Structure 1
Amino acid sequence: MRPMHPAAVVTAAFLCLASATQTRADPIPPGAVGQNVEAVGYSNLNDKPGFKMSIQKVGERWYLYIGMLWNEGWEIVDVTDPADPKVVKEIQGPDNTATDQMEIADGKMITALARISPGWGGDPNKPFDEGVLIWDLKDPLNPQKLGQYKTGSLGTHRNGYQGGKYMHLSAIMPGYKGNIYVIVDISDPAHPVEAGRWWVPGQKDGETPAAPPGTMLHGPAFIVGNTAYLPYGGAGMIILDIADVAHPKKIGQLSMSPPFASSIGVHTVIPVPARGLAFINSEAIQEDCKEALQNASIVDISDPAKPRLMALFPLPLPPSDWPIKSFCERGGRFGPHNQNTLLHNPFVQPQGDLVYLTYFNAGLRIYDTSTPTAPREVGYFLPPDPTHRYGVFPKGKLVAQSEDVLVDTRGFIYVTHKNQGLWILKYTGK
């Protein structure tokens, strides 16, 4: 996650395609530690670490699409044989622009564009592109640009697209503080138009009182029928009725900050209405735990007007034979980040009792939620510390920082990292 910013003038950049085919498998780095998880395959992604991911199966081939973290653009990885993943395409993105967020549905790919946050490697004096690019994936290895939506500000972050006519954006818009919720109609992808917007009172310039600290829509919005579940940072989890997309209405809200950290107090919301549950988590920001406690929680949403906290996921602990007693001692960020989120995707494992959650320096954690008032950890995977620094973070000790996670319907788990390549894993527990 890159911090959000105030509005600024933007300049579009030219986009072009580039090929980069990987011809041989990369060896699995030694030194990983796990419980009920085994490493199946690894790709160093041509020395270009990835961030957010989505996946599709075309014929008999499985293709993983990845937004690059420290480079502009996107990678396509053939993961048909998870033990032998290969980068089969690189798509060059616009210069000096964050391109690490993306999503796939209905044969389309949407990719977020934003100004690179201060301190993350961009040049604040150079132009950048912003908004959302919309791509056609009829040819899975050669996406074709269909159109672009622009915010007129600094761009978008973790956007949602579950197919159909609407994109659900986390957007920085002129006249607002922090990202707000913007619904965009892409019935004509060449001419996307805003269909509706919603924000927390106090985000719009001149509104009083001010919104709570850390108020911004991280995204993605999770849509179930006419209901939108929003991870809204310091404002908590917010549930909206979007039957009329032009005029969303708030149904309910659960604030988590304080006592938990407020900078991205709610980062992800995964609702499971059939169980009356939502799995939510914040995002750790400061290194060495120099912030309020982060949380990963289970929420009762059986009455969406009155969501209530049910349980907290247990805090990860280092292996008993490690010299440290807490991951706060390991360096880098320690805390939750991403869940297996893209549940609308027919090639992503549906949400069951298992919750897959990356935890930065605590790697990947897997939780059993079959008893939602008492979730328990049933597996974890700790990659070895990286040997090469590709980006500017972590600022301190170069330690493992697990970022995004995606689980396909074959049961293979994909995990990206700040300074490593792509790990492909398999859960071996019951």
Structure 2
Amino acid sequence: MADYLVAESARNVKYLGQTDQGGRPDGCQVMVSKGYAYVCNGFSAGLTVIDVNNPRDPKPIAFLPCHPNSWSIHCQTHGDLMLVVEEFNFYKVYDNEESYYGGSISGVHSSRFGKRGEDYSAGLRVYDISDRAHPRAIGFMDVEGLGLHRVWWVGDRYAYASAFLDGYTDHVFIVIDMADPTKPVEVGRWWLPGMWAAGGETANFDGRVALHHAVIADDVAYGSWRDGGLTLLDVKDKTKPKLISHRNWRPPFAGGTHSALPLHDRNLVIVADEAVRNIDVEPLKYTWVIDIRAPENPVTIATMPTPSDQDYFRKPGHFGPHNLWENRPEGYQSSRYVFATYQNAGLRIFDIENPFRPEEHGWFVPPPPRKLVDFRPDIVLQLHTADVYVEKNGLAYMTDFNAGLSVVEIDGV
């Protein structure tokens, strides 16, 4: 497939290599460690291991399956460990975007989806990746509920996850003690008031209010709550997270808050709102620049430029932000350049030297995928760049919901 990524449009980014991931081209989050990429599959119930020592010829070498009714769509690596979420695959029952994104799933009790451990798996799987090509499962944290959506962990004692637990209307924030990686254990949790149905709380939410995930910096957790906006939590005491501030710009904007990237050295946080429906039925979403000099009062100061190298509004399907490169400690780190994935617009690189006037440094827009792997009805075959991992040497690894893993090289950063 060497010809696949002849770009539709590119600036300061060049194509190196691509793989269909061994016939499972559905990709979500990707981590890269010492010449190996770990790609979470969105629809194939597992995770693909890819040898990327030669970035021009990536080779899939292993597949780590989860329960066929679950998904492992997000993972984290650091050192010789990898954490992989396992969660009931909601696309099995919510087969259109309106039902999945339109309101809280309101599980309250997971038994409505079957028996955990038999009909699906739910929790956090820990792998030893000291042999990068052959991950070995060493631990599992089972949760009483539907599982974890996404996890944040950078090698210290604690991991942080979004978890759909029994008794809650949707995903909430939890803290996980990783002191013994063979036996992770939850030690704290926090939720937006109204989400604890089993505790007698009543939700009065507009849209879907659920934690997508949180990124942690200096004991502050930056949580993205879909239609519930952004929270800053004090997590110095891991057992008792405390609210610092909560901002929600929906309405008047369209919600879908997905990813928050704190840049503490500049007192900024970058926040991406995910496009979750086709552009002809959903308002345009934005990636925001927020001033956090006063963390109790975050202030929006700019938005990233909307991609305009093509007429994206005329393309079928979604158009808008999805994910942000989160400046992981083993990868490329920058407080000036922001790497973002956009549905139908590929990889975008923003320069925020002037945070009040962000500019585009570069982009890479591949052609649409050749085959639809997404099994939901009425899904358009479109480019859906899901995630990106950026290495210190400027190589970037892009995933797509239907088009596998692509390797590109970024110039000038």
Under a length normalisation based on structure 1, what TM-score does the superposition of the two structures give?
0.86
1:47 offset after TM fit, Å?
Answer: 1.9
One-letter amino acid matched to 1:332: G
* 1:35 pairs with one of 1, 8, 11: 11
1:396 offset after TM fit, Å?
Answer: 4.5
Corresponding residue number in structure 1 for 2:163 = 171
The answer to whether the 8 Å contact 2:5/2:15 transfers is no
One-letter amino acid matched to 1:416: T
1:235 corresponds to 2:228: yes
Q: Matches of residues 65-76 of structure 1 in structure 2 within 5 Å?
A: 65-76=38-49
One-letter amino acid matched to 1:38: K
Corresponding residue number in structure 2 for 1:216 = 210
Q: Matches of residues 198-217 of structure 1 in structure 2 within 5 Å?
A: 198-205=190-197, 206-208=200-202, 210-217=204-211
Corresponding residue number in structure 1 for 2:291 = 300
1:119 offset after TM fit, Å?
Answer: 4.4
Distance, in Å, in 1 between the alignment partners of 2:334 and 2:351 is 11
- Pick closer, same or farther for the CA change 1:190–1:397 going to 2, 3 Å: closer
Under a length normalisation based on structure 2, what TM-score does the superposition of the two structures give?
0.89
Count of aligned positions = 388
Q: Matches of residues 28-427 of structure 1 in structure 2 within 5 Å?
A: 28-29=3-4, 31-33=6-8, 34-49=10-25, 50-57=27-34, 62-117=35-90, 118-119=93-94, 127-205=119-197, 206-208=200-202, 210-219=204-213, 221-262=214-255, 264=256, 266-319=257-310, 325=311, 327-341=312-326, 343-346=327-330, 348-392=331-375, 395-427=378-410
- Pick closer, same or farther for the CA change 1:132–1:289 going to 2, 3 Å: farther
The answer to whether the 8 Å contact 1:106/1:164 transfers is no
1:88 offset after TM fit, Å?
Answer: 2.3
The answer to whether the 8 Å contact 1:43/1:423 transfers is yes
Structure 1 segments of 4 or more deviating over 4 A?
A: none
Distance, in Å, in 1 between the alignment partners of 2:339 and 2:328 is 16
1 or 2 for the larger relative contact order (CA 8 Å, sep ≥6)? Answer: 2
The answer to whether the 8 Å contact 1:331/1:396 transfers is no
Distance, in Å, in 2 between the alignment partners of 1:389 and 1:208 is 40
RMSD: 1.9
Query: Which blocks of at least 5 consecutive residues in structure 1 are unaligned?
Result: 1-25, 320-324
- Pick closer, same or farther for the CA change 1:165–1:212 going to 2, 3 Å: farther
After superposition, the C-alpha distances for 1:364-383 in whole angstroms (9 at most, x for unaligned) are: 11111111000011212111
After superposition, the C-alpha distances for 1:131-183 in whole angstroms (9 at most, x for unaligned) are: 11111122222222222112211111111112122221100011111100011
The answer to whether the 8 Å contact 2:398/2:406 transfers is yes
The answer to whether the 8 Å contact 2:271/2:289 transfers is yes
Distance, in Å, in 2 between the alignment partners of 1:96 and 1:285 is 22
Query: Which blocks of at least 5 consecutive residues in structure 2 are unaligned?
Result: 97-112
Q: 2:349 aligns to what SS in structure 1?
A: strand
1:239 offset after TM fit, Å?
Answer: 0.7
Percent identical pairs in the alignment equals: 30
Which structure has the highest strand share of the two?
Answer: 2
Distance, in Å, in 2 between the alignment partners of 1:158 and 1:394 is 25
1:394 offset after TM fit, Å?
Answer: 8.1
The answer to whether the 8 Å contact 1:136/1:146 transfers is yes
1:305 offset after TM fit, Å?
Answer: 0.9
The answer to whether the 8 Å contact 2:189/2:240 transfers is yes
One-letter amino acid matched to 1:113: E
Corresponding residue number in structure 2 for 1:23 = none
The answer to whether the 8 Å contact 2:5/2:18 transfers is no
